[in-house]
Every structure is written in C-alpha cells, then in structure tokens.
Amino acid sequence: MHNLTLVDVSPRDGLQNESQILSPQDRVHYIQKLYAAGVRHIEIGSLVNPKAVPQMQATEAVIEAFQDKAQYPGLQTYVLVPNPKGLERLKDLTVDTVCFFSAGTNSFAKANIGMSVNESLQTYGAMVAPVKERGSRIRAYVSCMTHCPFEGDVNPQQVMEVLEAFDQMGVDEIVLGETTGQGVMAQTNSVIQECLQRMDPLRVGCHFHDTYGQGLANTMGAFALGIRSFDGSTGGLGGCPYAPGAGGNVALEEIIYAFESSGLETGIQLGKLLEAAQEMATLLDQPCRSKLCQAMDAKA
Amino acid sequence: MHNLTLVDVSPRDGLQNESQILSPQDRVHYIQKLYAAGVRHIEIGSLVNPKAVPQMQATEAVIEAFQDKAQYPGLQTYVLVPNPKGLERLKDLTVDTVCFFSAGTNSFAKANIGMSVNESLQTYGAMVAPVKERGSRIRAYVSCMTHCPFEGDVNPQQVMEVLEAFDQMGVDEIVLGETTGQGVMAQTNSVIQECLQRMDPLRVGCHFHDTYGQGLANTMGAFALGIRSFDGSTGGLGGCPYAPGAGGNVALEEIIYAFESSGLETGIQLGKLLEAAQEMATLLDQPCRSKLCQAMDAKA
C-alpha cells in the first residue's frame, strides 16, 4: 500500500488565479467531472472575502452541492477557511477537511490573509477546537517554503517555526507550499528533510507550482523522501492571470501519469481527467496549460 | 568539481522538428547567440539527407562558420553523422564530436536512419576508425530507451545490447535518449542503473523530451544516479510541428535553472539564453515552449 493522496486544488488555487469568474454552478459541474474521473480529494473552494477573491464567491453553494455523501461515495472535500468569519459562513455545512493558511514570511501572510504570521497562528489556534467539534480534519498550509514573492529567499527556520506552531495546536496535516514556483528540488527537499526531523511523513503534504518548470521534479523528489500527499491542479490551472500560458500549479495529470507509469495506482482515469481539463479550458477560453494535456490533445 | 556537461541540441534536434526551414545563416546567428550566452557544447546540425530533413540542409555551411577556434574559445561542436555518406560530406571540416544514432528498436531505427539496429551498428562500427582519424570524439545515441513510437514499451535488454555494441566499437560516450517523452523517472532511472552496471557514469549522457512534462524530473533523477552529461534544447525547441505548444526536448533553461539554484555553476547566463530563445521563437512565429521562458517573459 503506497498511501498516496492526491489533492486536486484546481477548483480553489486553480480558479482563484484565473481572471474569469465562474458561477458556482459551473464550479460544481467541474468538480463533478473531477469526481467522475476518480479524483477523491478535492479542494472545492475557499471562504475568503469575495471582494478580495471574487473567483471564490458563493463557495457555500459549492459546498452545499456536495453534502450528500451517498451521492459521492469516497469524496473528501477540502475547503480553505482563513479566519473565524469564514468558519461562521460554514454554518451547518459539512466539510471533510478545513484548510488553514499561513506562510514562511510576514509579507506573504499579510498580502494573502491580511495577518502577520503570528497573528495567523493565534487566529488558527483558536479555531482548532471549533473545527474539530464540527468533525473536520485540519490541514495547515505553510506557504513560501523556499521563496517569497516579496522577500525572496526564505530562511527554513521561519518555515519550521510555523510548522511547529501548527503541529502543537493539533492540526492533522501540514502542507509545505512552494508558492512562487522558483524553488528547485535541492531546495524543496532540504526543507522537507528539516520538516521530517519533526513530523511523520504521512502527516506532511506538498504543494508545488510549475511556474519555472520545476513542479514535477520537486514532487518526485519529495516522494523519494517519503512524502505521500501531493496537491496538483487539473490542467495546470492557476497561472497568473496577467501571463497567458505561464505555469500555474503543477498539473495533476502529470503527477498521475508519473505515478501510474511508476506502477503506483492512483484510481484516477487520465482520459476522463483530461476531458474535464479541456472542458474547463474551453470555459475559460484559454489553452490547457499542461504539457501532457497539450500532447494528448495534439495526438487526438 | 561537478563535471557537468550541458549539450544544447536546439540547433539540431530542436530545429529539425519545427515545421519552418531556416537558412544556414539564421542557424549560424542563433548558435552564435547560444555561444554568447555561455553555452559551450552545441549540437550544431546533422548531415542527414536534406530531402528527408530539409530543416538540416546545408549543415556544412553551419559547420564551416565555426571552424575558427580562436573566434569561439571553448566551443565544442557536435554534429550528427548518421552514415558514411554524411561523413563524406564533412570533407576537411573539423567537428569536435561526431554523433552516431541508433535505437532500442528496429522500427525506430528504420524510420529514423533507414537501417535496422544491427545494420546501423555494422555501419557505425566501420565509421569509428575514420572518425577518430579525423580527431573527433564519438558520441553514440541510443534512442527509445524506454518507449518507442512504433513498438511501445521497450525491453531494456535491447537497449543494453546496443549500448554494449557501441561500447565495444570504442565510442567515447553513450547517450540514452528518451525519445517519446513518455518515460517517467522510475523507468528512465531503471534503464540508467542497468547501463551503469556496464559503464562509467562519466561516459553516459541523457537526452530527455518533455512531451508529457516528465523531462526535468527525469534529468534530476539521472543526476542523482551520477549522470553528469545532459542534452537540453533552448526554449524547449523541438515539439511536433503539428502540435503548437506541445513539448519538445526538455528546455535547457529549466535544466540550468535547476542546477544553478542547486548550487552547481553552469557558466551559462540565463538572461542571455532566454533572449536567444525569444529571438528564435519570433523567427519561428510561435511562443517559446518552456514554462520558465513564459514566466520570465510575463514578468518582463
């Protein structure tokens, strides 16, 4: 048993970085396509301020659509809840995993969630009990594991401090996020190794971007170190809206292809996943970003 | 000393897979730009039948332009010479490294060089002495190290037989080529490990394509096994001419970025290399294929 967990973040980290704003209905339909392709871990949205991130507006309606577990056997929903206000919006909706979001640098935390790192840790510390009472798992992102868009190189010690704080407050899983796409395998592996001196590898996930073409190499490097939980984004969705064609998150299909060809079953059907990717690309009126998607498209 | 050798194959494997046909003058100008960026190992062309590969016509004129070593200190030229006819075309031109080209499958060898694998080995066997007498090193490609476009999965034993035959005839370096882009790290590493049971890692190079987004991960995997010679293609040049945007060779800039960020100096200036890539993309009237190039372009 390889314990592989692949989390599709395209409905959240993907769509929130695209310039077009989709209706909750379109987002639900897309998530249904991902589910039909065999994806079972899906970050379906984010309860952030819709004024700041209009792409994620009405995420409640998306969560609502996936309340009936009998309709979607095996589905694990992930929702980003950046503060107590977001938690209030959940009301009596059920979410399998609630995601917290801090960073290795104050500049990024402030730009992203409007709090310093310490403020965010205090905020999340107070949210652990209410989230657990709701019956949700907690997954905590530490962004900027190697690079920060504002501060450049990040001191791994800062990342370890955030990680330790999350660990101590009792989150179930930590996700190390390489946010800028600038980190290469030697760098991401070095931070992961520091992390694994503190935590069991099965409680650590990795979230890589492919902006500079390093995402899959970083994923394979982390796998070699014992990491088994990876974020990916179907179609490589999530590039910068001002840079058509520029890479977003590492493409889930390229991760699946790599693992399946290595003999690790993912339970995800590549063909169906690529159909979902193409449908979304059409909706967003842009080409599918991943090399694999483009190659398969050209073949067909 | 890391012994890293990065061979830019964009003027050969890159351009020969683009639909447009450039003049030898344009190719020379492009190679000069690569040299100015610090690239020192360049596959400048191929002496194949110009009717079969019109993109490589008049390669003699390109070779001619780089005869004056004083003008290009440190430059190592590589030219693909697939048969005795190609060798005749060299006449009194000097080439630092002559490249032979066979494959792990008969189907690919026949389609690519018009000979079965055994025929090609006989042909090359007879070319070793004349090439060495000319003072050139010999680099022998074994294509289809894991997959063949015609035969699918390739038996590693077939690859080892070709490799051993090349070794016995006295070539200086073997290059394992993952031609289709379908091979993932677990597969390419497995073949490399078999190869390293037979040969010193410093006599082995790797040539990966990025069609399915696996090229850089394969490169990093091979590096971890001790391989120090890698082919790359500036701008990711070399996609299928019928698939705009589809991946070609792994982009040299993404390899350089990965190694430099890992603390290994390559002597190549990324900014200047990207300028060459952009200039070529403009000439070919297509976007630059590599993620890194697109991201840097969007930033600028």
Contact A186 B263 (CB under 8 A): yes
Higher pLDDT, A56 or B248: A56
Torsion angles phi and psi, residue B124, rounded to 5: -70, -35
pLDDT digits (tens, 9 = 90+) for B106-162: 999 999 899 999 999 999 999 999 999 999 999 999 999 999 989 999 999 999 999
The mean per-residue pLDDT over the stretch B178-195 comes to: 96
pLDDT digits (tens, 9 = 90+) for A109-164: 999 899 999 999 999 999 999 999 999 999 999 999 999 989 999 999 999 999 99
CATH 3.30.420.40 for domain A5-299: no
A257 touching B, CB under 8 A? yes
pLDDT digits (tens, 9 = 90+) for B7-46: 999 999 999 988 899 999 999 999 999 999 999 999 999 9
pLDDT at B96: 98
C-alpha span between A137 and A297 (Å, rounded): 38
Side chain identity, residue A243: A
Contact A187 B220 (CB under 8 A): no
Using the predicted structure, report yes or no on whether residue A176 has a pLDDT greater than 50. Answer: yes
Interior angle at CA A62, CA A58 and CA A63, nearest 5? 110
Q: How far is A76 from chain B (nearest CA, A)?
A: 27
The mean per-residue pLDDT over the stretch A281-289 comes to: 90
pLDDT at B232: 98
C-alpha span between A151 and A137 (Å, rounded): 31
Alpha helices in chain B, H assignment, sequence order = 24-36, 59-65, 84-90, 106-113, 117-133, 156-169, 185-196, 215-224, 252-261, 270-283, 291-299
- A148: part of which helix (H) or strand (E)? strand A147-148
Side chain identity, residue A130: P
The mean per-residue pLDDT over the stretch B181-195 comes to: 97
Mean pLDDT of chain A: 94
pLDDT digits (tens, 9 = 90+) for A190-242: 999 999 999 999 999 999 999 999 999 999 999 999 999 999 999 999 865 54
ipTM, two decimals: 0.91
Say whether pTM exceeds 0.90.
Answer: yes
For residue B238, what pLDDT band results from cuts at 50, 70 and 90? confident
Q: Could you write out the DSSP letters of every residue in B220-267?
A: HHHHHTT--EEEEBGGG----TTSTT---BPBHHHHHHHHHHTT---S
Using the predicted structure, report yes or no on whether residue A286 has a pLDDT greater than 90. Answer: no
Cβ neighbours for A88, distance < 8 A, ≥ 6 positions apart: none
Interface of A with B in 276-295 (CB under 8 A): 287, 290-292, 294-295
pLDDT at B164: 98
Chain B residues with CB under 8 Å of A287 CB are 245
C-alpha span between B193 and B221 (Å, rounded): 11
The mean per-residue pLDDT over the stretch A243-253 comes to: 75
pLDDT at B116: 97
Class of residue B263 by CB neighbours under 10 A (exposed 0-12, middle 13-18, buried 19+): exposed
% of chain B surpassing 90 pLDDT = 88
Using the predicted structure, report yes or no on whether residue B224 has a pLDDT greater than 60. Answer: yes
Chain B residues with CB under 8 Å of A210 CB are 291
Higher pLDDT, A19 or B227: B227
Domain boundaries, chain B: 5-299
Of A183, A221, A254, the CB nearest to B213: A254
Interface of B with A in 141-170 (CB under 8 A): none
Q: How far is B11 from chain A (nearest CA, A)?
A: 22
Active-site residue among B99, B144, B206, B240?
B240
